[in-house]
Structure 1
Amino acid sequence: MPLSAAQTIPRKISPSLGAAHGSVHVPKTGPLFRRFLSFAGPGYLVATGYMDPGNWATALAGGSKFGMALLFVAVLSSLMAIVLQALSARLAFATGHDLAQNCGQAFPRPVRLVFWLIMELAIVATDLAEVIGTAIGLELLTGLPLGAGVILTSLDALLILAFTRFGFRKLEAFVVTLLILIASCFAIELVLARPDMADVAKALLPTRDLITNPAMLYIALGILGATVMPHNLYLHSGIVLTRAVGPSHAEKSSAIRFAILDSTIALLFALLINGSILILAAAAFHAHGHPEVAELPDAYRLIAPLLGSALAAKLFAIALIACGLNSTLTATLAGQIVMEGFINIKLNPVARRLLTRLVAIVPAVGVILIGGASATNGLLVLSQVVLSLTLPFAVVPLVWFTASRKRMGRLKAPLATTGIAAVIGVAIIALNTKLVLDAIAG
């Protein structure tokens, strides 16, 4: 007989995210659509991490230098993300605990500490991208100096404090509103750019250059790191538990189906935005003989004259700031889940945010002072590659846990899903190894 979640995880574990845990009511009966709406929300918080400012840097670099050739990577990365995030939600509802808490139960203390430090590195890399991206957006839109913008971003801790008081559903509504704003900005810009749809369709197929060209592989891994983000797997497994789901097998099974549907729809929405960034870069820059546009300020300055509209540049900056604000919220939540699950330390969300932001601000300000604003783009792309290199430390335990009948009971992942997820994990590790070897070889 399969073990229950209580038997699988013997010691008492405090719920992550404090009062938000189980705070969203889930109706047990009623119309199917109404029940699904009670689960809608976490997927969009996860999707936010798939379109942060670091993603912009890699997409702009890839689109301007290689045209639409890397669109296949963006699509493939999103399909990978859908599979992995589905496993994340499954693990949470089957065990009643998030990925970090499951790791905390399964690993000895030294291993837990190593995993925690690696995930903190991933979160700092994400925050670094948010710091730089949001500051650049503010500079472009308002003229605020980049250094001042970087320091100003620390005030986003007040935003975290506000939503801590208003409730989790309000936070989800805020994130969805900003996502709609971002999508609207890019929809208008694509209309202005008029990309060749035949080229878009052709780019959905892989190119051999992806393996043979180290420069293309580097950008591709950046896109992968910006799309399949390691801390998002921990985040998703924590925030779905804000839903008050009953203990029965039927209730958990239903919750898993609704959560997977929510994250799949949200990630397909994110794919549209990610693809739009790359297509816009290809149509606006690569097609007009500007293959080296990889920096956000350069893109802002060139996009208006190339598309023939000053509105395009303003929309670009507005969407960039909105992306930074959204990523701020989700990175803080991920940090709480990781810290509480691995080392069982609870920290006030505002204090947690200020600490993480301080760690990210120091290298950002240092790079600005030493190399100037032009050096920040390299830091953005590097942050995404760091995320890609830390990804196996989230994927491997996730696949392992969800394949275990002892841990998951009857809700263990189907064999086919486990197989696909395992292939994804192996592919990521292989690509990361090649990246490191290429870097060593110069």
Structure 2
Amino acid sequence: MTANHITLLRAGFSAAVQAAQAKYALPPYLPTPPSGRTIVIGMGKAGAAMAQAVENAWQGDKSQLSGVVVVPYGSTLPTQRIRLIEAAHPVPDHNSVQASQQIHQAVHALSADDLVICLISGGGSSLLSLPATGLTLEAKQQLSQQLLHSGASIDEINIVRKHLSAIKGGRLAAACYPARVVNLIISDVPGDDPSHIASGPTVADPSSAQAALQILQHYAIALSPTIQHGLQSCAWESIKADDPRLARVQTHVIATPHTALQAAATLYQEQGYTPLVLGDTIEGEAKEVAKVMAAIVKYCQKHGQPAAAPAVLLSGGETTVQVKGNGCGGRNVEFLLALLITLKDQFPYAALAADTDGVDGAAPVAGAFITDQSWNKALALGLDPMDYLQRQDAHQFFQRLDQQLITGPTQTNVNDFRAILLPA
């Protein structure tokens, strides 16, 4: 494998990220300006770029435009009318609560002539955090940490989040009533269900408090009496589809993982590679998904099916990592490490796996890349790949190997991107 193959992998990732940028995806979905005020609210890793895109493309009276959007630390962009507040991800902090309170206040006492534009993207569940009545931030933080390390899927985690919140699960939409609400969403979840993206603050929630309780019990997470009672009594139930306060809510998903994968597929095809898109909703343990992908790669290499080299296997979704060792997790790097352990140096290949938001797990690293030379390079450095995998310490492994992918904040989030290149 050559440096050109790594460059090509990086180019595919860049194409995927670029396709999901708000400045391209958002303007066509902006609603007609109202006779009253326009309030822009939002939450998520793409929040700053989305707010900027609204300001640049808005055709109404900009003196009637204002708002509050909460974004991760270090990801702000210049805005004039929409105020950006920084908060923590993936575990909420006090800024998450203050931002939620200010967003709640921004939509207080609106009229039917007013418009709320809600900008939603992945990461919003943590950034927008207002604990349910009787629940403390500290209790939510502790529970969030446990859930993130439990191996629970993102859908399961978000069902719990919605039922421990005073603002998610449709509650923010209810607070906007009777104003018209237009949701503009960049999806980071498998299946693109708006009720799961940022835990659905402005859409109806089909899940139940009982379901949230069952998820917590399934993953053996200890519950305080307050949480137990709040969920069992249904005192913390979310907003359902028949609630009249949701009658004026309109939702548009403006960018998706599929969008990103198709952009990468087009780039690779132009470079002479046959793209095989395996899906954008792939879930499961990262290391187990890697075994399946490795099997497909081997079959392609041996039989030329389902794609013959030169080819590239593309996939997205959101895998999970059960952090039991002393590492910091990272589903994309764990996927790659498991893939490397399976494929080793058997034949020419290169692979890249990264989170499109630029952060894989708790580390400020998007992901990593490997080639058929990485196995022997690791052994020459005295690294034991299996030891790093067992300790969920793949980030450290790829740092030692000098094969990390570091992008900084990408201003979007359409979930994981995985590409496995098979040259001719």
Common fold: TM-score over 0.5: no
TM-score, normalised by the number of residues in structure 1: 0.22
- The structure whose Rg is larger is 2
**If each structure's helix is expressed as a fraction of its own residues, which one has the higher value?**
1
Q: Which one has the bigger strand percentage? A: 2
Higher-RCO chain (CA-CA 8 Å, sequence separation at least 6):
1
